[in-house]
């Protein structure tokens, strides 16, 4: 499984940095964001290192589908599947991507503001 020794999320996958895991499969890990910006704020990542969602969509589209399926499962486990939730991914600098290991944010448990800058 490709890993990047300098990558924060690869270290979480390896167990070298602790995380509050809420869901896991062979290919995906979901854990609570360390700085939650909603009542529910979970990050869903592939266990295999890829830099951005855009690159993953080009190289490994089935993996992208796995992330969204896992996001739905997280919403179900967190009890927000019916009330609604947001799945969002920052891709690159202008979007404010801080960690260059693919992740989608699952946000919910409250009324969310509009998507925008
Ligand atoms: P980005 O801005 O790249 O889309 O989101 C990165 C997210 O990772 C941020 O929401 C940030 O709070 C979260 N984060 C950064 N470092 C850690 C960490 O060590 N543990 C966890 N659980 N989340 C982190
Ligand atoms: Zn990584």
Residue 71 within any structural domain of the chain: yes
- Which residue has the least CA distance to atom 20 on ligand 1? 34
Question: What interface predicted TM-score (ipTM) does this complex get?
Answer: 0.99
pLDDT of res. 5:
83
Supply the CATH number for residue 81's domain: 3.30.428.10
> Burial letters for 57-87: b for 16+ Cβ neighbours within 10 Å, e otherwise?
eeeeeebbebbeebbebbbeebebeeeebbb
Residue 114 within any structural domain of the chain: no
8-17 residue pLDDT tens: 999 999 999 9
Q: Please identify every residue whose CB atom is under 5 Å from ligand 2, which is an ion.
A: 4, 7, 9-10, 49, 101
Residue 78 within any structural domain of the chain: yes
Residue 1 within any structural domain of the chain: no
For ligand 1, is residue 51 a contact (CB within 6 Å)? no
**Count of domains in the chain?**
1
Residue 117 within any structural domain of the chain: no
Residue 101 within any structural domain of the chain: yes
Give the residue numbers spanning the domain of 60: 8-108
Residue 3 within any structural domain of the chain: no
Residue 1 has pLDDT above 80, yes or no: no
């Amino acid at each position: 499984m490709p890993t990047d020794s300098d990558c924060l999320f690869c270290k979480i996958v390896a167990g070298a940095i602790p995380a509050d895991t809420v869901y896991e499969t062979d290919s995906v890990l979901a854990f609570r964001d360390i700085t939650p910006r909603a009542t529910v704020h979970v990050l869903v990542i592939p266990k295999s290192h890829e830099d951005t969602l855009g690159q993953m969509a080009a190289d490994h589209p089935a993996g992208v589908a796995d992330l969204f399926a896992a996001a739905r499962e997280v919403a179900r486990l967190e009890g927000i599947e019916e009330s609604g939730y947001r799945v969002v991914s920052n891709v690159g600098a202008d979007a404010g991507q801080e960690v260059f290991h693919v992740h989608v944010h699952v946000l919910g448990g409250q009324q969310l503001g509009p998507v925008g800058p």
